[in-house]
Amino acid sequence: MTDLLAHVESVWQAVVADLPTFTVEVVPSIDSTSSELMRRARDGLTDPVLLVAEEQTAGRGRMGKGWHSKPGQSLTFSLALPLAPADWSGLSLAVGVSLAESLHPDVRLKWPNDLWLQERKLGGILVETAGSGEGASAPRTVVIGVGINIARPEAGVVAASAVAGAMAPMPPAGLSEVRLGVTAGETLALVAPALVRDVLSFGARGFAPFAPRFAERDALRGRTVHLSDGTDGRAEGVDPQGALRVLTPSGLRLVHSAEVSVRPC
């Protein structure tokens, strides 16, 4: 039995009371757990499912960035369930809050969808939806993809991700740096039940209850940031819908995740 399979039963037992039709699947290799669950959603399969991969060969991140994984070196999974919040704004931030609180006190959140550990990327989040219901309030299937480094990625992987002529990227972090000996399966058991509860809470109450929790782990607040459209400013936290507040020379600007990427200066 693999490490991931050894923890499936405990995850299922912790969630099934809230989601009676919930299932957990573990596959040895797949192109992308999120791509697979989006395919299922488009085919009309809406039962809640947690799909975990020992290995991803074509994982996807925000803005088309790849996220590949090797068995035991990272945890990659996607959660799909029907959801009908009054406002979808801030869901990726709520997911980040849930994961960070479960992982370690030192984990911080880089708006809008990165987990940071000691100023380095520990993991990423990708939120997508599918559905054809009538009206804005109709339930849609949300697919939440998560990738978390368990071991610190090898130097060769980091070098291969560098863009020609650009400054070398900061080496990513691994959870094992602060949780010695932790496995992917143990990490799944740490984060998955709380994640399901928090996503259901978001569906019922929106981002507002998560805002103070996000503020406690906000990695950008008070720092000078550079937006991909060339604007510089000081990050001032997020608004009630999860938009990043950036104080620029022209005044306060609200930045939404679909508009630009953000990096600290």
Q: The domain that contains 245 carries what CATH number?
A: 2.30.30.100
Please say if 70 is a catalytic residue: no
Q: Give the per-residue pLDDT at 230.
A: 87
Predicted confidence (pLDDT) per residue in 66-104, tens digit: 555 566 789 999 999 999 999 999 999 999 999 999 999
Residues 56, 134, single domain; the answer is yes
Residues 108, 213, single domain; the answer is yes
Residues 146, 68, single domain; the answer is yes
Q: Give the per-residue pLDDT at 158.
A: 45
Choose, from 62, 108, 213, 217, the residue flagged as catalytic.
62
Residues 131, 173, single domain; the answer is yes
Residues 183, 254, single domain; the answer is no
Q: Return the residue matching tokens 């039940």.
A: 193
Residues 126, 245, single domain; the answer is no
Residues 39, 125, single domain; the answer is yes
Q: Which of 182, 199, 217 is the C-terminal boundary of a domain?
A: 217
Choose, from 39, 65, 205, 263, the residue flagged as catalytic.
263
Q: Give the per-residue pLDDT at 229.
A: 86
- Whether cis (ω within 30° of 0) applies to the bond prior to 71 is no
> Cβ distance 102 to 195 under 8 Å?
yes
Residues 10, 33, single domain; the answer is yes
Residues 121, 237, single domain; the answer is no
Residues 237, 195, single domain; the answer is no
Residues 42, 159, single domain; the answer is yes
Choose, from 121, 152, 213, 217, the residue flagged as catalytic.
121
Domains identified in the chain, total number: 2
Please say if 108 is a catalytic residue: no
Residues 102, 43, single domain; the answer is yes
213 is in which domain, residue-wise? Answer: 5-217
Q: Which of 217, 238, 253 is the C-terminal boundary of a domain?
A: 217
Provide the token pair at 112. 């809008």
Please say if 234 is a catalytic residue: no
Which pTM value belongs to this model? 0.89
| CATH code, domain carrying 50 | 3.30.930.10
Query: Digits of tens for pLDDT over the chain (265 positions)?
Result: 689 999 999 999 999 999 999 999 999 999 999 999 999 999 999 999 999 999 998 765 554 555 555 667 899 999 999 999 999 999 999 999 999 999 999 999 999 999 999 999 999 999 999 985 555 566 799 999 999 999 987 654 444 444 444 444 678 999 999 999 999 999 999 999 999 999 999 999 999 999 999 999 999 999 999 988 888 999 999 999 999 999 999 999 999 876 677 888 7
Strand partners, 130: 141
Q: Give the per-residue pLDDT at 261.
A: 74
